[in-house]
Structure 1
């Protein structure tokens, strides 16, 4: 059994009455009830300290994720009408139109290459002022 230290404390009458009623049950004692209550309170304080320690970091992470989600939504909402527009105005190529297909491949490469370079370098096309960070 761990060494026990005697404490003298004062409780308001209603709280003392509730403690006495609870301790009157078989197998319960005031000391055990108070020890459990103080342990639970101290454990909650420890969890609160962890929350206080990581709250700022978690808030920053949450804000960064929100910006990423917003940027992704903006990109998708911008790209979808563009694709819909392009598909609606472009006539399909004939089966034997090798020149048209070659031109389409060149245009596609010209479109994809800068996107690939931007993604690889980490720079952003839409918000260049944020690249300075």
Structure 2
């Protein structure tokens, strides 16, 4: 189906006219096609908000950073909630510190980390700051 075309007449500076002639000299190109494509691209570019085009990628990156920060804050809030609950209810009256108590404390800490990980699994995953105790950290 052929589209209806309207004839337009306009003047170009010499340098643009020569560049258009050089482009139209290539096989399969015509002045009408070149000018139509150029005008369409120019009008579409003008239709976009210049600020969105300029600042959009930066804002997208900042949004990703904000989401990561929110995830970390959620993890820290969950840990603080569990720690306060544990300290105020479960560990209020502990026996004097000895080797057995140290091992009990490490087991409880590992349970704490595991519980935080389970609670965060429903969110956006376990953040990097949640880790398991290694045997070398036992003496700390």
Do the two structures share a fold, i.e. TM-score over 0.5?
Answer: no
By relative contact order (CA 8 Å, sep 6+), the higher-ranking structure is 2
**TM-score normalised by length of structure 1:** 0.44
**TM-score normalised by length of structure 2:** 0.43
Where is the helix percentage greater, Structure 1 or Structure 2?
Answer: 1
